[in-house]
A and B are shown apart, each in its own frame.
Chain A
Amino acid sequence: MENGVASVGGPQLGEEKNVENQVSGDKVEERVLVGSDRLKDFEDEVFEEAVDSPEQLQDLGAKSEFGVCVKTVGDSSSLVVDENSNMENEAETFEEAVGALVEAGDLEDLAAVVGGERSKDLVGGDSVDKIDEGGTTSEVVCHELNGEKEVSEIGGDGGNEVSMGAVGVKCSHEVGLSREILSEDGKMEELKKDELGTVYHNTGGSVGVVQLQEDNGDALNDNVPKVDTECHQVEKSGELKGDDTVLASGNGVPESEQLMDNSTNLDMGLQGVSNGDVKDTSVPVDSGHHEEIHDLNANSAVPHTVEATAAPEILNLLSEKFVNESNEDIRDCVATSATLREEYNKTEPPCADEKVNGVGKESNVIEEPKNKVEKDHEEKKRTQGNGEREIPTPEKLASLSEKSTGPAPTPVRPAGLGRAAPLLEPAPRAVQQQQQQRVNGTASQVQSQQIEDPTNGEGDEYNETREKLQMIRVKFLRLAHRLGQTPHNVVVAQVLYRLGLAEQLRGRNGGRVGAFSFDRASAMAEQLEAAGQEPLDFSCTIMVLGKTGVGKSATINSIFDEVKFGTDAFQLGTKKVQDVVGTVQGIKVRVIDTPGLLPSGSDQRQNEKILNSVKYFIKRTPPDIVLYLDRLDMQSRDFGDMPLLRTITDIFGPSIWFNAIVVLTHAASAPPDGPNGTASSYDMFVTQRSHVVQQAIRQAAGDMRLMNPVSLVENHSACRTNRAGQRVLPNGQVWKPHLLLLSFASKILAEANALLKLQDSPPGKPFATRSRAPPLPFLLSSLLQSRPQVKLPEEQFGDEDGIDDDLEESSDSEDESEYDDLPPFKSLTKAQVAKLTRAQKKAYFDELEYREKLLMRKQLKEEKNRRKMTKKMAAAAKDLPSDYSENAEEESGGAASVPVPMPDLALPASFDSDNPTHRYRYLDTSNQWLVRPVLETHGWDHDVGYEGINVERLFVVKDKIPLSFSGQVTKDKKDANVQMELASSIKHGDGKSTSLGFDMQTVGKDLAYTLRSEAKFCNYRKNKATAGLSVTLLGDALSAGLKVEDKLIVNKRFRMVLSGGAMTGRGDVAYGGSLEAQLRDKDYPLGRSLSTLGLSVMDWHGDLAVGCNIQSQVPIGRSTNLIARGNLNNRGAGQISIRINSSEQLQIALIGLLPLLKKLFDYPQQMQFGQ
């Protein structure tokens, strides 16, 4: 197979330079002509072998502005369809040609946008599909292509994406392509392009997911003897609050071919990146996408003949291959490709070949790649350097006539510089950047066509941001310049790429600016540096952490080239945290030196002390970058540093590692002998050692995606130096500028992020702990809890609602004095009972029980009556002169004034000296404050279960308003908990009351403050409704909740409480409801039977949790209770417990032996099976 396909991207012709021209319709032709000429040249020279009939290749990229088709050169016309989602999408175009032959008859496409469906794909050569549409906007796009003689087919493709929020908004579109239609139409000369606007929605704040993406790709073919299949992939990415979800849909559009001499395939993949949450979208995510896309491109062995971009693309391919070969080559290649690209844009050299040669000069490898271009598929199969990603091989792509839509996690890069610099494969990214620019250029062109104004959109505001970004770019280039680094340097290139990426993320049509901005920036930087006058507004704070004796202070001295801190080989050099400010190459640098840390597990307490002092020190002036130092020549094996790394993570949080550079000191040391006794190479040594440290950090930080850049340092005075007196490592690297550049780069990126607000974290707080969403379900369930109202002391012992009293009154009357009517009864002594026959005994106990019951009932009734009396008296007292009530108070006060022992907690049955319950008895004093110890009942055996104290007091304000205070403090070895509750309620009128409460309690490490208020209505005798509001402040998150509760008392035996509520905080909502029904014994509280049913529902993040709880207690016989309890939730987890307690049938206890016996019997059985 040959890769004889040249694909031309119409839009690419336009590139930045041409944009203006394109805007005006008149010039379109001109441009196209030029383009085609160039293409021809280019093709001739570059792709001779690759293309069957290179001469015939022609290309036209045309865009019609007004729906007019441009068809100027040759037969070919190209179509580009772009879409931008409102969310700012970036479009990427790729072209891929795969050398599979596909037949294509005359195909035409019609793309229709259909709404309301998800996109699908088409399969087979015939079908093509698609496009997209937004749920809200539907546009129809038709495009058709013509060849003169025949209609060539095009691949349109649509990718689409659907995202749904909790609300469930979908966007989908489908484009249908019908061949028949096309054939009927015969030739179409018009090319239309439409932009589809897709609208995507963010669903409700909380769940917002979104995504979008779309694209259309078209390919035009003109005469092609052979046509290749195009594959394109559409990438979509969605960002879900910090989660990256990428849906990738790949479309394989097979295409056709046939009569045409030349094939031009143009694919466009548009990549939409939803910027809905720009903040959340982090740069690394994007880079992840781009890399993926890039890979796809790389797989296409077909060189793109697009003029301006052709070279970079070739480079792309080349570089891709190089990746496999050597990283170093790649670096060069990338650097050159970047510059090359710039050159292209500027100079538009006529002949691509020249350029290629030009490139060749810089990186001698280029020639080789050219050849490789021809080797197609085998090459493509190669898997990518990064094992993390799967890249479909080209064959796969080709065969993929269907699009597979499936969520595929994109590798996400952590913030920071990403991979270790020496190991970088910047090539893909840099190239990608170029491509992206190109693509964006296309997009903007397309847009311009419709809008007729290239600078539509955000205009000024965006320009301003861009200017600022430009200044950052200039600043960085100046820094690099001062450090003696060219833009070709890996780190520099990468940072520039990231800046460009960030800009594109922000800017809608900003893509095309990218290339220019670099030129301008670099020119400006050189100018400023040459003048030497302009002060550089940049300073960087670097913090140095590491084990003792690795050379922290020495490194700082090296950075400043003077002795700032004393060092000693054998003593602890640095005793306290200190900083030093100095300038390096005119750049202001502040370095914080810290005392050495100890690696041993037993020394971590000491480390914590040191690190806490560091933390305190950096509170005011947080460092921009952290250097973690270790020795290159000290292999820490067996996770020896793990305790130390974990301590650092604990103290500063894992985020410290996001801004950390691993620095390996003693870098001039010779690599150890390899396993076979021969010396290993220095690079291998460094790589392995870096890997060990990075891996350890990953583990300590708990984030496997971390890839801290590595820098080498050699502080020894005997270190080899170059002519300029700079210290040089054994691999020829001048380490200091590299280290500084890495540090500055991360500061620069942070600045850019702050400017573009790409990240949540404010620049001043690099280590800010990530704010967590408040635990809404927890707050909600505490809100839903039904709380009794605070009562006045005299009402204290009343039934909760008083309704019971009323209900019971009627029923009570019958039994009136029943007990008194009974004949006298003489209870027997134990000895007498023992003499009774069984029947007698039974009769006796029955009688006894009956009497007991009656007695208790009587007592209860008396108690109730007494209460009723007091209530009446109290009511009467209100009318009486005040002295009466005073008297009453005195009386009651007097009664309470004698210290009375409080009811103690049940003492343990045996007198275990380890069980200290008896030590904690307490008296009830006359003090109104009730202070009691708190017993932790689930503590360890023989442990003192008392871990806190509880304080309570009930106040009465103005004799009317009860105000209760209760607080509890518990403290154990690990943490302290404080809980405080202040509640009050006011009754207005009958059946209406309002209560207000304030809670304070520790939740995790934070204090939660809750203010709640409830209003209770009791309109009907049997029904009580409550509505409540609450506001909780937890940490720095404020949540608000609302609840409604209804309590229904059907009769004496059955009551039900229903409640529902919602809690919101941080744009997140949780809904919940609960139901509790209780059925109790006829003569509660005497009867012991009681059944309750509880049901709770909680919905949070679309995650529905339903729990059900049933408990039933039934008395069996005189002294036996059966308690059954079961619970179940919607996850299928449940529990059933049956409990019987009895005070007479001791034999029942033997049941407890069952499990034991079973175990015993099972054991031999298992033994047998085991044998």
Chain B
Amino acid sequence: MGSIIREWVGFQQFPSATQSKLVELFGKLKEEGASTLTILVMGKGGVGKSSTVNSVIGERVVNVNSFSSEVSRPVMVSRTRSGFSLNIIDTPGLVEGGYVSYQALELIKRFLLNKTIDVLLYVDRLDAYRVDDLDKQIISAISDNFGKEIWRKSLLVLTHAQLCPPDDLSYDVFSARRSEAVLKTICAGSRMRKRDFEDTAMPVGLVENSGRCNKNENDEKILPNGEAWIPSLVKEIIGVATNGNKSIVVDKRLIDGSESNDRGKVLIPLILGVQWLIVKWIQRAIKDDIAKGGKAL
């Protein structure tokens, strides 16, 4: 199981206001009977997955580089605090050369074997304006690999949330529209039925990882709308974890691909046998025919 479980030192680094909120939230989770929470973080390269992990843990647990990808394989970070353990799995970016990197997905799947995913954080940027086909492909690749059920346990995280919206839009309007655009893509990419997707009502969390992030009087990092984002993100995460849907268990079956390839595997020898019989039969028929033909001559 990957990395050693360590005491959550970074927790102490949070501002006290944040700490108290988090304690409350985790307490709620404990009441539900869960003692571990496993979070999987996925998304394109360079959107801020690793930075988000660092922010949530409160420590620099994953190296971050602005210009090249530092994470070439999945990394699991585990922290325990008063009997509760938090696991966050950081993954490499899912894009390579303008295409979905199936190699990276493969790596992730193998890493996740026998783990249970409570929450998936799908990370994208808030300050990007467009969603394109590639996003959709990434999403459908995730669906294909982990099953579309995973989207029921997902949270959309938009990073770089400290921005000044263009076109004189207000911040809230901007972030709402951006979230909506990404959610729409997820809906289309995950191939879930629209109704199902709407029922799921995937929540959105905003994140600002930069050291320049504004802070409120409690020294909490806040978004331009004044909200302290770490507690609200954790709240959303816990909300998803307890939303009643089953956690995704990554087992051999899931990893080996969808069962469609295996369906009817048992029939193969049978079919071979039948083929053999048919061939035999035809051969016999031909031989008979030759024999007959010989007589005729």
Contacts and interface: CB of A to CB of B under 8 A. Distances in A.
A565 to B, nearest CB: 13
Contacts of A670: 210, 212
Interface residues of B, number: 42
Interface string B143-174: 00000000000000000100011111100001
Contact of B67 (A568, A641, A688): A688
A636 interface: yes
Contact of B98 (A600, A677, A688, A689): A600
A208 interface: no
Interface string B109-136: 0000000000000000101111011100
B132 A603 contact: yes
Interface string A632-674: 0111111111111000000000000000000000100011111
**Most A CB within 10 A of own CB, among B99, B132, B211:** B132
A601 B64 contact: no
A642 B98 contact: yes
B137 A637 contact: no
B261 interface: no
A685 B212 CA distance: 15
Interface string B64-75: 111111000000
Q: Is the interface of A mostly helix, strand, loop or mixed?
A: loop
B10 to A, nearest CB: 13
A696 to B, nearest CB: 11
A717 B166 contact: yes
B290 to A, nearest CB: 17
A717 B134 contact: no
A1077 interface: no
A679 interface: yes
B53 interface: no
**Most B CB within 10 A of own CB, among A567, A601, A603, A678:** A601
Nearest to B63: A675
Contacts of B97: 601, 638-640, 642-643
A236 B180 CA distance: 64
B64 A675 contact: yes
Contact of B130 (A548, A637, A643, A644): A548
A677 B54 CA distance: 10
Nearest to B94: A638
Contact of B167 (A568, A603, A635, A642): A568
A637 B69 contact: yes
Contacts of A673: 51, 64, 66, 209-211
Nearest to A674: B66
B189 interface: no
A134 interface: no
B81 interface: no
A599 B134 contact: yes
A598 interface: yes
A677 B178 CA distance: 28
Contact of A718 (B64, B133, B160, B164): B164
A197 interface: no
Contacts of B174: 569
Given A570-B181, A635-B46, A680-B66, A641 B165 contact: no
Interface in B253-280: none
**Most B CB within 10 A of own CB, among A570, A636, A638, A685:** A638
A688 B46 contact: no
**Most B CB within 10 A of own CB, among A569, A596, A636, A679:** A569
A673 B101 CA distance: 26
Contacts of A636: 46
Given A673-B210, A679-B211, A638 B134 contact: no
B69 A570 contact: no
B177 interface: yes
A488 interface: no
A723 to B, nearest CB: 22
Contacts of A644: 98
Given A549-B130, A602-B99, A635 B137 contact: no
A600 B132 contact: yes
Contacts of B205: none
Contact of B125 (A599, A634, A639, A642): A634
A675 B62 CA distance: 10
B134 A603 contact: yes
Contact of B93 (A598, A637, A716): A637
Given A549-B129, A637-B67, A639-B97, A602 B134 contact: yes
Given A637-B93, A672-B210, A677 B60 contact: yes
A601 B181 contact: no
A421 interface: no
Given A601-B97, A679-B212, A570 B130 contact: yes
Given A601-B98, A639-B97, A672 B66 contact: yes
B43 interface: no
A644 B212 CA distance: 33
B221 to A, nearest CB: 13
**Size class of A's contact patch?**
35 or more
B206 interface: no
B45 interface: yes
Nearest to B99: A601
A637 B134 CA distance: 14
B98 A639 contact: yes
Contacts of A568: 167
A678 B210 CA distance: 9
B98 A569 contact: no
A692 interface: yes
Given A599-B132, A638-B45, A569 B167 contact: yes
A635 B93 contact: no
Contact of A639 (B60, B96, B177): B96
Interface in A705-732: 715-718
Contacts of A637: 45-46, 67-69, 93, 95
Contacts of B167: 567-569
Given A570-B130, A596-B130, A678-B211, A638 B66 contact: no
B66 A688 contact: yes
Contacts of B178: 570
A976 B160 CA distance: 50
Nearest to B127: A633
A717 B168 contact: yes
**Most B CB within 10 A of own CB, among A599, A635, A643:** A635
B210 A640 contact: no
A640 B128 contact: no
B95 A638 contact: yes
Contacts of B129: 549, 569-570
Contacts of A642: 97-98
A664 to B, nearest CB: 14
Contacts of B134: 598-603
Contacts of B63: 675
Interface string B55-88: 0000010011111110000000000000000000
Contacts of B127: 633, 666
Interface string A568-605: 11101000000000000000000000001011111100
Contact of A602 (B60, B130, B133, B177): B133
A715 B64 CA distance: 29
A598 B132 contact: yes
Interface string A614-643: 000000000000000000011111111111
A641 B98 contact: yes
9 contacts: A569-B167, A570-B130, A570-B178, A602-B133, A637-B67, A638-B95, A640-B95, A673-B211, A677-B211
Given A549-B129, A689-B67, 18 more contacts: A549-B128, A568-B167, A570-B181, A599-B98, A602-B137, A633-B160, A634-B125, A635-B66, A637-B93, A638-B93, A638-B95, A643-B99, A674-B66, A675-B64, A677-B60, A680-B66, A715-B166, A716-B166
Interface of A: 548-549, 554, 567-570, 572, 596, 598-603, 633-644, 666, 670-675, 677-680, 685, 688-689, 692, 715-718
Nearest 3 pairs of A and B residues by beta carbon:
A600-B134, A601-B98, A549-B130
